[in-house]
């Protein structure tokens, strides 16, 4: 007889960005540490089929999975917190994808002439996606995007209401994250926002089982009891979700509050206590490091930090690996382009140029790369950052002064960055993208020395995740390599057998490395990505020694 699946549905109220993703990921981490096979799903209420074409200013970063799925940034949180789960396209879906599936089925005659409606057809499709995403896990944690009260979320909320009837009340748990603000003028915590949020949920037929109350302080028992009384929830099922200095403290705090024990009890899952010793050790290193480095992140989405969420977390992980705190200094590449912010580049221990799309700020990034190369500052270029490092090297070291990328100068004669031949003429934006996991062959040695790539990975073949449509143009490679550009990572295309550049380095530099892929999508707090660990180590070893000698840009 098949084991009965268990489900936890996490909703949020009062306001957006309250922390549902971290809360859901923390619950997943705790239950996994108790020996439960966990998976997680994110349901987003917007009509885009996926976030792939959305501006980072609208929705933050796009998190890419091995299968090439472009997903919500909360999948990144899940990946960093839940160690053993393997996420695919099934673990993230939107209203747009649900409606697209239903409309396609209707056009194909799949509903046999019936009137297609939100209930039952849209809600049935949502439930179908949830069950498919649960795969063979014992416990599926589903985060409902948006805020209770938003019209967009109603089909999702109705679907999860039905799930309790479908799966049995003992197998479904509703967790609601809400806000309990402290009003300084009154000198007290206010429970009314939580009361109204739960009232909204109950009006559509969902009675939360557990309340997570976001606040800047721990809720005293009398406040929990008051919330429980007005929200029809026992006071022992009302938990504090306090603000913490690091998101990685959240599961430890939840465990102290015995949230995981209560979840196990409510769902009838009997387990041993979790071993959180390694997690605690990691959090201690984040809170009390032995040193500090400053990394300058040169980009154009610097006003919206969620655009670089996985990147910033990966730098923290690299700091943990080296027992240092990583201070991140976001530097607007457009301002560098205008001759501003040069003093900021002088102040950092390492320079990172991340990925991105569009021409804005490109020359500023190239200036920052030139600065790092000339002044021997540890440099790490990711995706577009690597491509622009090749452009900068071509212009200033390889005798190709008009070198550029076909992304920004399509008719250029010296585009050292270009589309693969197989991608030319493809009009669909997604059709030209190299998305998901690809094998990279790592060069072990250059001459008698190990390459920085091999020193970091310790092996000659790795798989990394990609999200781009332009590549280093192979016709320029001999000229670039002759002048000292090392190609230390390669991929052989399955499309046409073309060898594609995956990683580049400079041998006569303390640390100058670029990669075509996105290593930040694979970094975890307990398993920092090797390239971030090696970059931060270089910033520790080299950065402080070179800062005082810095001059100017260009």
The set of catalytic residues is: 383, 518, 520
Task: Compute CA 134 distance to the chain's CA centroid, rounded to the nearest angstrom.
Answer: 21
Angstrom distance (rounded) from CA 204 to CA 14:
16
Helices (H), 339-412: 342-347, 362-374, 384-396
Which DSSP symbol is given to 62?
P
Size of the chain in residues: 554
Q: Give me 12's structure tokens.
A: 């949020």
Q: H/E element holding 478? A: helix 477-482
Task: Compute CA 227 distance to the chain's CA centroid, rounded to the nearest angstrom.
Answer: 34
Task: Compute CA 355 distance to the chain's CA centroid, rounded to the nearest angstrom.
Answer: 13
Helices (H), 352-496: 362-374, 384-396, 452-457, 477-482
Rg (CA), the chain: 25
Give, in degrees to the nearest 5, the angle at Cα 485 between 523 and 439. Answer: 40
Angstrom distance (rounded) from CA 95 to CA 122:
9
Q: H/E element holding 6? A: strand 6-12
Per-residue burial over 154-175, b if 16 or more Cβ lie within 10 Å, else e, is bbbbbbbbbbbeebeeebbbbb
Tracing tokens 């003429």 back to the chain, one arrives at 425
Q: How far apart are the first and last CA of the chain?
A: 70
Q: Identify the three-state secondary structure at position 267.
A: helix
- Separation in Å, CA 172 to CA 19, 60, 164, 281, 415: 21, 30, 6, 33, 56
Q: Give me 433's structure tokens.
A: 């993208």
Q: Do 8 and 210 touch, CB atoms closer than 8 A? A: no
CB atoms under 10 Å from CB of 88, counted, come to: 15
Q: Provide the β-strand partners of residue 144.
A: 43
Angstrom distance (rounded) from CA 49 to CA 95:
7
Angstrom distance (rounded) from CA 311 to CA 332:
16
Angstrom distance (rounded) from CA 433 to CA 431:
6
């Amino acid at each position: 007889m098949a084991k009965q699946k268990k489900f936890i549905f996490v909703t949020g109220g009062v306001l957006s960005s309250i922390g549902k993703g971290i809360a859901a990921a923390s619950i997943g981490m705790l239950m996994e540490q108790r020996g439960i096979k966990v998976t997680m799903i994110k349901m987003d209420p917007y009509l885009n089929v996926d976030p792939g074409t959305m501006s980072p200013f609208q929705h933050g970063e796009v998190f890419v999975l091995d299968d090439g799925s472009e997903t919500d940034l909360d999948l990144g949180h899940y990946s960093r917190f839940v160690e053993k789960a393997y996420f695919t396209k099934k673990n993230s879906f939107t209203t747009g994808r649900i409606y697209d599936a239903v409309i396609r089925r209707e056009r194909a005659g799949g509903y046999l002439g019936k009137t297609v409606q939100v209930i039952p057809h849209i809600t049935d499709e949502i439930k179908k996606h949830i069950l498919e995403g649960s795969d063979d896990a014992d416990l599926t944690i589903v985060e409902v995007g948006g805020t209770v009260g938003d019209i967009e979320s109603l089909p999702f909320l109705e679907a999860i209401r039905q799930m309790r009837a479908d799966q049995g009340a003992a197998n479904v748990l509703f967790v609601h994250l809400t806000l309990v603000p402290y009003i300084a003028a009154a000198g007290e915590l206010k429970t009314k926002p939580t009361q109204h949020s739960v009232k909204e949920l109950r009006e559509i037929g969902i009675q939360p089982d557990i309340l997570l109350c976001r606040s800047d302080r721990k809720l005293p028992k009398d406040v929990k009891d008051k919330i429980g009384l007005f929200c029809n929830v026992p006071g022992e099922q009302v938990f504090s979700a306090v603000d913490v200095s690091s998101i990685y403290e959240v599961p430890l705090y939840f465990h102290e509050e015995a949230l995981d024990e209560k979840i196990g009890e409510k769902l009838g899952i009997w387990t041993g206590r979790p071993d959180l010793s390694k997690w605690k050790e990691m959090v201690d290193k984040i809170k009390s490091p032995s040193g500090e480095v400053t990394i300058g992140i040169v980009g154009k989405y610097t006003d919206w930090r969620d655009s670089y969420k996985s990147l910033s977390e990966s730098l923290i992980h690299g700091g943990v690996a080296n027992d240092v705190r990583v201070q991140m200094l976001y530097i607007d590449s457009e301002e560098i382009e205008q001759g501003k912010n040069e003093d900021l580049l002088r102040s950092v221990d390492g320079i990172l140029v991340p990925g991105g799309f569009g021409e804005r700020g490109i020359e500023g990034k190239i200036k920052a790369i030139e600065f790092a190369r000339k002044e021997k500052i540890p440099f790490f270029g990711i995706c577009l950052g690597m491509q622009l490092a090749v452009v900068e090297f071509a212009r200033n070291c390889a005798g190709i002064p008009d070198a550029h990328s076909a992304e920004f100068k399509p008719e250029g004669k010296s585009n050292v960055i270009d589309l693969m031949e197989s991608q030319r003429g493809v009009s669909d934006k997604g059709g030209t993208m190299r998305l998901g996991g690809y094998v990279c062959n790592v060069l072990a040695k250059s001459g008698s020395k190990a390459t920085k790539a091999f020193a970091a990975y310790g092996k000659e073949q790795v798989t990394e995740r990609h999200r781009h449509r332009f590549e280093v143009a192979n016709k320029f490679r001999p000229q670039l390599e002759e002048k000292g550009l090392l190609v230390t990572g390669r991929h052989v295309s399955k499309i046409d057998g073309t060898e594609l550049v995956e990683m580049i380095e400079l041998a006569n530099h303390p640390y100058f490395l670029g990669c075509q892929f996105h290593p930040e999508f694979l970094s975890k707090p307990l398993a920092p990505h090797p390239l971030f660990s090696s970059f931060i180590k270089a910033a520790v070893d080299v950065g402080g020694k070179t800062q005082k000698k810095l001059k100017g840009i260009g």
